[in-house]
Structure 1
Amino acid sequence: MADLQNTFTMVDPINGNLAFKLFWFENNSYFDHLQRNNYFSVIWIKEGSGKLKSDFSEYDFDANTLLAFTPYQPFMLASDKNLSGVAIQFHPDFFCIHKHHKEVSCSGILFDNIYHPPYVNVDMASAATFNMMLSQIKAEMGNKAMAQYEILVSYLKIFLITASRLKSAQQAIERKPDSENKEPYILHDLKEAIEIHFKTKHSASDYADMLNISAKALARITKTHFNKTISNLIAERIIIEAKRELYLTNKPIKEIAYELGYEDEYYFSRFFKTNADVSPQLYRDTVGFGRASA
């Protein structure tokens, strides 16, 4: 089993920060405390079960679960038994989900999906693909030959596409409406309303009025199905957009705040720090900015 304890790390030669990392773990010491990393994390729990605490919610997970987190997304894994598996961590400078979302189709599915838990159940076919890609990545990490970055990105893309397809298929099954239950239709309308209006409407009551349902009833349905409040959903959606703008553009923070419905830049900065645990400027400094043409 010694070979499974290997850790392979690639460091950005310019700033010395983590660019890409692959490691196997056999206990929960890596993730048993709150994580707020400035890179993407994909964690495959192969053995063990426990409770995932992420953002505003808690979820139970079992063996063969793949977890996915964006930069500065808070999470921790609680378990009474040892967890074993493998993790991939990569900085947006190494591979940016925001820029390449059309290629890998994982933005809004695997990552940045506020309406579904941040995990996917791994079936046998996908597990075989994951294991093959991990073996290729491991071999390539020890190979300093020409075009190493391009090959690693190619393997990472296949891994992420496989995970996104799997999660998309599982979501399609979950979305099948019950003819006797109108709640899924209301939730569909709520998601559409948030996607259209999150920049201008920030209160739960706005959406209750829009959907012609009482605020109390909508709150109950939302908590039951999403394990979050409406305010949580709105806040998370705003933060996702803010992070995308901070990374992909060099717009002043004041301009980003205004586009998201905040006339007061300082109020927006407090809101961002409350929900992301870092200031907009620190997020931009540690995750990157102005890379739209990179």
Structure 2
Amino acid sequence: MNLNTWKTKIKIDLNFDLNTELLSDNSMGIYFEFNAVNSIMVHFKPLNELFKLNSPTGGKGILLHFQRDLIDEDDIEYALDVMSIFNKYPQLHIKEAREVERIKRLIELLKEEYFSSTVSYIMLKTLLKVILLHLIRFQNNELLPQDIYQKRVFHFLELMEINFLHETNAEYYANQLGISTKRLNQVLQDKLNLTAKQIIQQRQITEAKRKLIRSAVTTKELAFELGFESISSFSRFFKKNVGVSPTVFKSQQES
């Protein structure tokens, strides 16, 4: 993978503030705020959201942000676990000395690799995965309160991740959650500022881009895989959301 390609997938910012431009609207972010010797406040930015913090502490933190398709390159269980830590809680406070030291050491290794003249994308991805797995394990051990609406958002995202290729109707997910479609949309709009349909469509676009970039899939095959009735309806949908047709998008990535 060449330099320009991996730079579009993962980025480290050492001087983060609320005006820092992220990789894209489809990127996920983790801001590590170092408040004391044995304390790290971890702030998560899920897809389609903003960081829930007032003002970062200048040079006392580090921002990692990466495209969500980076985690899709691994197995579905890992991807769901990552989505879980990003959508369960906006912050995670790590105070246990050994865990703080472990996270700091992994971040330093990631920084060294990222800014190295011989940087390896595989190494970056591996180090990021190790950090995420530590955060997943730590969060799973924390007994933090979680409101019912946040649980419903997470359950919706989990269901969608598994079923979006063949279930694109919001009513299906509302039935699975035992609430009305109207109530589901109210909860999602309150927490994510998006309706179920908009979130599903964003996921379809992400998947379409991933397949167009990483495989030899044709527009016809992709339209069928994503549940569209015709190539023309898929092409219109893709162009409306991306700005160019699937064919043009694929050729741009190959050039």
TM-score, normalization by structure 1? 0.56
Q: Which residue of 1 aligns with 2:41?
A: none
Which residue of the other structure, out of 129, 136, 147, is the alignment partner of 1:168? 136
Q: Does 1:135 align with 2:112?
A: yes
Which residue of the other structure, out of 202, 218, 225, is the alignment partner of 2:184? 218
Q: What letter is aligned with 1:254?
A: K
Q: Which residue of 2 aligns with 1:194?
A: 160
How far did residue 203 of structure 1 move?
2.8
Q: What letter is aligned with 1:272?
A: F
Alpha carbons 1:114, 1:236 under 8 Å: kept: no
Distance 1:98 1:212 in 2: 28
How far did residue 161 of structure 1 move?
1.9
Alpha carbons 1:246, 1:280 under 8 Å: kept: yes
Alpha carbons 1:193, 1:207 under 8 Å: kept: yes
Gaps of 5+ in 1: 1-9, 72-91, 142-147, 290-294
Q: Does 1:58 align with 2:18?
A: no
Q: What letter is aligned with 1:163?
A: I
Alpha carbons 2:28, 2:45 under 8 Å: kept: no
Identical-pair percentage: 24
Cα gap change, 1:174/1:239 in structure 2, threshold over 3 Å: closer, same or farther? farther
Quick check: which one's helix share is greater?
Answer: 2
Aligned pairs (5 A) from 1:228-239 = 228-239=194-205
Q: Does 1:70 align with 2:67?
A: yes
How far did residue 238 of structure 1 move?
1.7
The CA RMSD measured in Å over matched residues stands at 4.8
- Per-residue displacement from partner, 1:231-251 (whole Å, max 9, x unpaired)? 232123222322332233212
Aligned pairs (5 A) from 1:106-125 = 107-108=79-80, 116=87, 124-125=100-101
Distance 1:183 1:29 in 2: 26
Q: What letter is aligned with 1:59?
A: F
Q: Which residue of 2 aligns with 1:206?
A: 172
Q: What letter is aligned with 1:58?
A: L
Cα gap change, 1:243/1:212 in structure 2, threshold over 3 Å: closer, same or farther? same
Alpha carbons 1:246, 1:284 under 8 Å: kept: yes
Distance 1:70 1:261 in 2: 24
Distance 2:237 2:91 in 1: 30
- Secondary structure of the structure 1 residue equivalent to 2:166: coil
Gaps of 5+ in 2: 35-43, 95-99
Distance 2:18 2:180 in 1: 45
